[in-house]
Structure 1
Amino acid sequence: MTEPSSTPAPEISEYQLGESVGYLLARVKSTMSNMVTQRSMAELGITSQQGSILFMVASGKCVLAAELAREYGIDASAVTRLIDRLEKRGLLTRVRSSEDRRAVRLALTPEGHAIAAKMPKIFTSVLDSLLSGFTPEEVGFLKSMLRRALINSGECTAFARDAASSSGNKT
């Protein structure tokens, strides 16, 4: 058995992680998610992902489990587990479609709606903290660049349309 090397390969040691856009984006996403979870757990007793799912269902953007899986880039079984937890807590229900019996739509309970309605305030507060010191122009430029990156990914033609209609929002 070979001893593990204590010296990283040159391609690893020369890579400047702190200068990687991918690394920085991932760190910001992780930090933002942790901050939202801290607030949403303290105020609402739910995680950022649960609150975000409730918000997406309430907004009408994602009303099927498959839409949530696509939006969050997670597999269907993970979405099913999240939905199961939210349903068990009485925050959402599954409703079989009358037009297509195979389709199961998600609907919020009154308590789920109440929580979803509180999420924008939490999202905004966290983003205001993260973007403290940014000018409105810098925030607009950041959003524009992020939209372009999403469009370049090829999966976001509908996203570009949605973003154009909501371009006045800071968060």
Structure 2
Amino acid sequence: MDHYNRKNFTVTQSMGFMLSKSRNLVAADMDTALKDLGVTSQQMGIFLSLARGLARTPFELSKLLAIDSGLMTRMLDKLESQDLLTRNRSDEDRRVFHLELTDEGLAIAEKISDIAPQVLNRRLRRFSKTEFTELKRLLTKFIGESQDGEPT
């Protein structure tokens, strides 16, 4: 089913515009909240993904977080130079690097885990529990993944 056509399409009411604006608002809120940790909202995904075992390599992080490999490399370089993570060559495949947070990186991930829910809850404060559940369901359907993050 087509939801848009030439007559009913307006930029500010398009799904892409609204999703992009929503993402930018959340990122700005998160950047402000994480400023004292010296972490950006983009870096937050790296910390939490590594701390929770969702990814172990730059490729896995790029895929999970939908960040191109060039930007991912630059972000990892910066975090490594700050002694927040380490890269270790795989014994099985020398082309692959495994990533691991340092103790300081793990401490930051723990602090992020306290801060991020507060930021999101402020943005979601006008949503009922039912609306929140429905929003998550619809966004999951939109991005084409199951509730557990697996592609559908």
| Aligned equivalent of 1:60 | 53
User: How big is the alpha-carbon RMSD for the aligned residues of Structure 1 and Structure 2?
Assistant: 1.9
Amino acid at match of 1:162: D
The structure 2 residue matched to 1:33, chosen from 5, 24, 27, is 27
In the TM superposition, what whole-angstrom CA distance separates every residue of 1:45-77 from its partner, at most 9, and x where no partner exists? 111111221111111111110111112322211
1: CA distance, partners of 2:129 / 2:64:
27
2: CA distance, partners of 1:127 / 1:51:
13
Amino acid at match of 1:47: T
2: CA distance, partners of 1:75 / 1:30:
18
Measured after TM superposition, the shift of residue 100 of structure 1 is: 2.4
Match status 1:136 vs 2:129: yes
The SS at the match of 1:46 is coil
Amino acid at match of 1:28: S
Contact 1:52 1:119 in 2 (8 A): no
The TM-score normalised by the length of structure 1 is 0.78
1: CA distance, partners of 2:76 / 2:149:
27
1: CA distance, partners of 2:127 / 2:51:
30
Measured after TM superposition, the shift of residue 147 of structure 1 is: 0.8
Whose radius of gyration is greater, 1 or 2?
A: 1
1: CA distance, partners of 2:50 / 2:147:
19
The TM-score normalised by the length of structure 2 is 0.87
Match status 1:22 vs 2:40: no
The structure 1 residue matched to 2:97, chosen from 92, 98, 104, is 104
1: CA distance, partners of 2:147 / 2:88:
29
Match status 1:162 vs 2:122: no
2: CA distance, partners of 1:143 / 1:161:
9
Contact 1:40 1:48 in 2 (8 A): yes
- Structure 1: 5+ residue stretches without partners: 1-10, 165-171
- Structure 2: 5+ residue stretches without partners: 1-5
2: CA distance, partners of 1:131 / 1:15:
27
Measured after TM superposition, the shift of residue 163 of structure 1 is: 4.6
The SS at the match of 1:34 is helix
Contact 1:62 1:68 in 2 (8 A): yes
Amino acid at match of 1:93: T
2: CA distance, partners of 1:55 / 1:68:
11
Measured after TM superposition, the shift of residue 102 of structure 1 is: 2.3
The number of residue pairs the alignment matches comes to 145
Contact 2:26 2:120 in 1 (8 A): yes
